[in-house]
């Protein structure tokens, strides 16, 4: 079955760029009927959707973060990525990648385990 | 942005009893073109990612026990656990995927009484 795994540094300095990658295994990122998303969860708090991207590279961003976020997909590596620039302590969170479904299905059906990113000098 | 508000924030229910969690959206998430409510429910246990329970407000995800059910339409939705089991202790979230930005409720913590 399809699995997602986030990777990237757990510590990022303020004002730097956070870079994360989600590796997709057990299936192709180019399969129809899906989109690929990033969601974050601040410590002890709620969930914030960041972006979703199709395998074509078409991306849709949360306007609250859009000026700092870039999403990309690499179909040859079966991965998609997130870059968040000019980070501050407010970006400290667990970052999840997730698979969203289109068509007859809905919701995010598969999630990575999440990766904790701390912004600190 | 569509604001999702869950109630209550926390809930304690006895084993075998019914648990109900409410979710209200600030605008309708019923999409006229497909007549479906773009609303999902998730379960999150400590240290784990979210698990999809329900989508289209009332369609149970494959493999989810049938004690979990979703209901509602438009702006008001309910997740019901018909007979609470010990393994159902978790935080539950609703989420709208009607339009971007997708938004989540603040979560409801479910415990055993």
CA–CA dist B67, A35 (Å, integer): 29
Q: Which residue has the higher pLDDT, A44 or B57?
A: B57
What is the reported pLDDT for A45?
83
Mutate to test the interface with B, among A50, A98, A103, A107 (most CBs of B within 10 A): A107
Q: Which of A63, A106, A114 sits opposite B40 (nearest CB)?
A: A106
Answer whether B52 sits within 8 Å of A108, measured CB to CB. Answer: yes
Output Rg (C-alpha) for chain B, integer angstroms: 13
Chain B hits for A108, Cβ within 8 Å: 40, 42, 50, 52, 95
Q: Inter-chain contact B101–A62, Cβ cutoff 8 Å?
A: yes
**Chain B residue with minimal CA distance to A43?**
B47
Taking the C-alpha atoms of residue B104 and residue B92, their distance in angstroms, rounded to an integer, is 10
- For range B36-60, the mean pLDDT: 97
CA B57 to chain A, closest CA, distance in angstroms equals 10
pLDDT of residue B43: 98
Mean pLDDT of B8-33: 97
pLDDT score, position A30: 95
Q: What is the pLDDT of residue B68?
A: 98
- pLDDT at site B44: 97
pLDDT higher than 90, residue A103 = no
Q: Residue B61 gets which letter from DSSP? A: P
Find the closest chain B residue to A4 by CA distance: B49
Above 90 in pLDDT, residue A82?
yes
Q: Mean pLDDT over all residues of chain B?
A: 97
Residue B101 is predicted with a pLDDT of 97
**B61/A107 CB distance under 8 A:** yes
CA dist A53 and A72 (Å) reads 7
| Partner residue opposite B107 with nearest CB, options A46, A96, A100 | A46
pLDDT at A44 over 90: no
Q: Over 90: is that where the pLDDT of A97 sits?
A: yes
Confidence band of A106 (pLDDT split at 50, 70, 90): very high
Q: Which residue of B has its CA nearest to A94?
A: B49
Residue B66, sorted as left (phi over 0), alpha (psi -120 to 50) or beta, turns out to be alpha
Query: Does residue A47 sit at the B interface (CB-CB below 8 Å)?
Result: yes
- DSSP assignment, residue B87? G
pLDDT at residue number B38? 97
Residue A3 contacts residue A79 (beta carbons within 8 Å):
no
Per the model's pLDDT, the better-predicted residue between B44 and A45 turns out to be B44
């Amino acid at each position: 079955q399809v699995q997602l795994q986030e990777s990237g540094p757990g510590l990022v300095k303020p004002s730097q760029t956070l870079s994360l990658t989600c590796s997709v295994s057990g299936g192709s990122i180019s399969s129809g009927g899906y989109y690929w998303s990033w969601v974050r969860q601040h410590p002890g708090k709620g969930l914030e959707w960041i972006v979703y991207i199709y395998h074509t590279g078409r991306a849709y961003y949360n306007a609250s973060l859009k000026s700092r976020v870039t999403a990309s997909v690499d179909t040859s590596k079966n991965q998609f990525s997130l870059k968040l620039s000019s980070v501050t302590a407010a970006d400290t969170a667990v970052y999840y990648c997730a698979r969203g479904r289109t068509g007859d299905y809905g919701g995010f059906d598969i999630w990575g385990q999440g990766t904790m990113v701390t912004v600190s000098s | 942005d569509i604001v999702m508000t869950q109630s209550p924030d926390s809930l304690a229910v006895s084993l075998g009893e019914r648990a109900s969690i409410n979710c209200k959206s600030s605008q309708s998430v019923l999409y006229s073109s497909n007549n479906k409510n773009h609303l999902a429910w998730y379960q999150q246990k400590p240290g784990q990612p979210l698990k999809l329970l329900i989508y289209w407000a009332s369609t149970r995800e494959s493999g989810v026990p049938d004690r979990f059910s979703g209901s509602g339409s438009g702006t008001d939705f309910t997740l019901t656990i018909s007979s609470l089991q010990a393994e159902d202790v978790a935080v539950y979230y609703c989420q709208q995927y009607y339009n971007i930005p997708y938004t989540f409720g603040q979560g409801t913590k479910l415990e055993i009484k």
